Amino acid sequence: MRIVMIGTGYVGLVSGACFADFGHDVVCVDKDEAKIALLESGGVPIYEPGLEQLVATNVAEGRLSFTTDLTGPVGAADVVFIGVGTPARRGDGHADLSYVYAAAREIGAALRGFTVVVTKSTVPVGTGDEVERIIRGVNPGAQFAVASNPEFLREGAAIEDFKRPDRIVVGVEDESARQVLEEVYRPLYLNRSPVLFTARRTSELIKYAANAFLAMKITFINEIADLCEAVSADVQDVSRGIGLDNRIGTKFLHAGPGYGGSCFPKDTLALVKTAQSYGSPVRLIETTAAINDDRKRAMAGRVIAAVGGSVQGRTIGLLGLTFKPNTDDMRDAPSIDIVRGLISAGARIRAYDPEGMEAARAMLPEVTYVDNAYAVADGAAAVVLVTEWNQFRALDLSRLRERMASPVLVDLRNVYHADEAERAGFYHVGIGRPLRPVEQARAAE
């Protein structure tokens, strides 16, 4: 199949490279000339394990190419995917669909035969209807169908998710479009990946509903973690105990500083706004988003309490900045609220992240960025483990402790057991665990 992917961001580039790896002929289009030049030179604009090699292999084999001009590729395509960004719109929280609609107008002008136009970007219910209207308005005689095919890719595991998905959701209103998309995804039938065909609006809602449910699951266990601290229970054991119930499952039951990233914050907010506009509010999701925002802001207070109530003039070291490991994505990362809260309280911040520091510098210029995990500890009143990168899971805690001004480890991901940290001389503060004697004394102050 001849496929065009509009957009070379996270969704577009991963999807385009994986489609090419299936044997399809793929052209990725982006207006950003610098990004296209980087891709043509063998680089990739995002960090995703395995992506650079996947792109290079398929470019070398002639199945994947890049351009800034969509006219020729779209005119020759069987399928055109729209994979542009849909950020939260400034001011009201609705999904900003300006990039999707601009792509639809350009696609409409370039169509030269029956083509399936697919929204792969995360879009609110009814977006496919508007894309169809725009294309028809630009090119009344065009032969095309509009479909919805939301992505379900986890950053850090996107290639595996694309090639071995839990499910493929396709929303169509046209039998010809269904047949074309069956052919696009035929290589995955060998893996017995279930393909769920639905109406277009249903498909659009599935993506938002899935992300909102996972966000609620994270927020639920974070609230249970707070209760665990109050009643002297252990949230990790609670998570295991409820996760072994097959109706609940173990995933997304890891207590921490709150969710962030490119999907959950904007998608929960967009779903709330969509529901409100249709007069059918989703109160659980509204509450989820509010609790998560409060939690991220509260983490700075947890650090301040751990060092005795004040960070004025003191250095705090941060291990990890990205919202999760194996990505360079800083969007809505909990570290942003933590850093800003600590700086407003008078702290100096030293930080290290294996992949996220370039993006972090633009957002958090006040931070001192260092080149390894141990350097964050130099003169620090506390070290805060924010992102659970693998290289932070087996640190030499004694070596870390020796470089610090005071022995406080605030472990927001429960990577280390309290006993292990205390043997290395640390006062350890975890999430959702029984208060240790020193913590109990401080809590009573």
Catalytic option among 18, 28, 228, 263? 263
Contact 297, 221 (CB under 8 A): no
Q: Are 341 and 329 in contact (CB under 8 A)?
A: no
Q: 33: how many CB neighbours lie within 10 A of its CB?
A: 9
Taking the alpha carbons at both ends of the chain, their separation in whole angstroms is: 68
Is 228 a catalytic site residue? no
Pairwise CA distance, residues 42 & 60, whole Å: 10
| Pair of tokens at residue 331 | 């969007």
| Count of positions (residues) in the chain | 445
352 φ, ψ (degrees, to nearest 5)? -140, 135
Q: Compute the distance between CA of residue 434 and CA of residue 372 in angstroms, rounded to an integer.
A: 31
Q: How far apart are alpha carbons 237 and 158 in whole angstroms?
A: 29
> What is the SS3 assignment for 131-188?
HHHHHHHHCCCCCEEEEECCCCCCCCCHHHHHHCCCCEEEECCCHHHHHHHHHHCHHH
What is the phi-psi region of residue 263: left when phi exceeds 0, alpha when psi lies from -120 to 50, beta otherwise?
alpha
Q: How many helices (H) and strands (E) does the chain have?
A: 18, 14
Residues recognised as catalytic: 263
